[in-house]
């Protein structure tokens, strides 16, 4: 199978993303029922994209995959009046997306940071394309979560990290997944505030609020979920998951070495525990975006990447 990838800026691939594999999976992905076949996705030429990018506005018609098809949409809109009519968008929100450096469509909707790849690449000479609309997400743009990499030194002088454990049971048995404490933000909540709140709720790390701002690390990275819907959830050209990660290094104090983790979020968390750096580096059960964020942190890479 031959994939033709458009010219890619170095920042897209500097972290070893296998773009050919990403696009091949996007082209053949059966993971999401109803995700449009290639012939029903929107695609453009590289020349068209470059011209639109110069103007700062991408002209994309309404796509075939819309939130209106989601069976829970109307019930959700009755509960939450902020869920938009996906045919229109608040102009002030469009302006905020532009301020964040995102391209927007002619109808004011944001464009996925990696959208150019899906829109313009081909497989076996057939354009891959991307679904537009909201898919099965409630809001356009990035659905942002805040996550916290919490590091301490144990009694043996080894680095450990606070990890959330969730278990999933299927026909193959029970699997254990590891992730850093985190979750989706509340209205008006900055990503770092979300991360700190979730660390307290999921792992009992209320000690973080007592640490001075100088001890709180800058965000390790913002992980844009990638093009493949099975990797990035029900994403489209206009709506996607984005996971923000912060870092906090707990002070090297006796009470920190003795600190036990405990969760108050038993509905979503099965257990919490400290995991060694060595174990975490090799952990296949570490969730994808969290695995990439941890590697970026250990490699001392910071910034916005995918």
Angle subtended at Cα 49 by Cα 45 and Cα 53, rounded to the nearest 5 degrees:
175
Write the pLDDT tens digit of every residue in 255-283. 889 899 988 877 778 889 999 988 887 76
The whole-number pLDDT of residue 19 equals: 64
| Strands (E) located in the chain | 3-4, 57-58, 104-105, 122-123, 126-127, 141-153, 159-170, 173-179, 182-184, 216-224, 239-249, 271-276, 303-305
Query: What per-residue confidence (pLDDT) applies to 81?
Result: 64
Cα angle 172-177-181, degrees, rounded to a multiple of 5: 160
Model confidence pLDDT, tens digit, residues 160-182: 999 998 877 666 667 778 999 99
pLDDT digits (tens, 9 = 90+) for 23-49: 777 666 655 556 677 767 788 888 888
Residues 6+ apart with CB under 8 A from 49: 58, 116, 119, 120
Residue whose pair of structure tokens reads 């206009």 in the numeric block: 238
- The gap from C-alpha 17 to its chain's centroid, in whole angstroms, comes to 15
Q: Which residues contact 89 (CB under 8 A, 6 or more apart)?
A: 107, 108, 109, 140
Q: Count Cβ atoms below 10 Å from residue 151 Cβ, excluding itself.
A: 16
pLDDT for 11: 45
**According to the model, what pLDDT value does residue 116 have?**
81
Res 250 pLDDT > 80: yes
pLDDT of residue 84: 61
What is the arithmetic mean of pLDDT over 57-74?
A: 61
CA distance 215 to 223: 23
**If phi over 0 gives left and psi between -120 and 50 gives alpha, with beta otherwise, what is residue 95?**
alpha
Average pLDDT, the chain: 75
Across the range 217-246, mean pLDDT stands at 70
CA 171 to chain centre: 28
Q: Is the pLDDT of residue 16 over 70?
A: no
Give the pLDDT confidence score for residue 101 in this predicted structure.
83
What is each CA distance from 298 to 149, 183, 226, 232, 277, in whole angstroms? Answer: 11, 22, 21, 23, 10
- Domains of the chain (ranges plus CATH)? 3-138 (no CATH), 142-305 (3.90.79.10)
Residue-level pLDDT at 284 = 75
Flag whether pLDDT at 301 surpasses 90. Answer: no
Identify the residue with better confidence: 88 or 303: 88
pLDDT tens digits, residue range 118-161? 788 877 777 778 888 777 677 788 888 889 999 999 999 999 99
Digit-coded pLDDT (tens) for 183-231: 988 878 888 888 889 999 999 888 776 654 444 444 456 666 666 666 5
Closest among 247, 173, 253 to 216, alpha carbons compared:
247
pLDDT for 273 equals 92
More confident residue, 238 or 75: 238
Please indicate whether residue 182 or residue 1 has the higher confidence score (pLDDT).
182
In this prediction, residues 77-87 reach a mean pLDDT of 64
């Amino acid at each position: 199978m031959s994939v033709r990838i458009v010219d890619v800026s170095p920042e897209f691939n500097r972290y070893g993303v296998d773009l050919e594999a990403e696009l091949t999976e996007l082209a053949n992905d059966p993971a999401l029922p109803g995700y449009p076949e290639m012939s029903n996705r929107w695609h453009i030429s590289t020349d068209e994209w470059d011209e639109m990018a110069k103007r700062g506005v991408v002209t994309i018609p309404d796509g075939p995959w819309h939130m209106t098809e989601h069976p829970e949409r109307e019930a959700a809109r009755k509960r939450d009046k902020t869920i938009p009519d996906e045919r229109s968008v608040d102009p002030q929100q469009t302006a905020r997306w532009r301020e964040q450096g995102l391209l927007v469509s002619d109808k004011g909707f944001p464009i996925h940071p990696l959208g150019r790849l899906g829109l313009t690449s081909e497989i076996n000479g057939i354009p891959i394309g991307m679904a537009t609309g909201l898919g099965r997400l409630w809001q356009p743009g990035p659905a942002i979560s805040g996550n916290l990499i919490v590091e301490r030194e144990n009694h043996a002088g080894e680095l450990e990290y606070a990890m959330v454990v969730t278990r999933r049971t299927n026909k193959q048995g029970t699997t254990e997944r590891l992730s850093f404490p985190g979750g989706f933000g509340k209205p008006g909540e900055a990503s770092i505030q979300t991360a700190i709140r979730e660390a307290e709720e999921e792992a009992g790390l209320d000690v973080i609020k007592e640490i001075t701002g100088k001890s709180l690390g800058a965000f390790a990275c913002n992980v844009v979920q990638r093009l493949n819907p099975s990797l990035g959830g029900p994403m489209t050209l206009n709506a996607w998951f984005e996971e923000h990660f912060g870092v906090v290094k707990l002070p090297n104090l006796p009470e920190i070495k003795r600190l036990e983790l405990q969760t108050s979020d038993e509905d979503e968390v099965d257990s919490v525990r400290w995991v060694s750096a060595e174990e975490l580096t090799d952990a296949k059960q570490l969730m994808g975006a969290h695995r990439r964020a941890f590697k970026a942190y250990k490699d001392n890479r910071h910034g916005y990447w995918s």
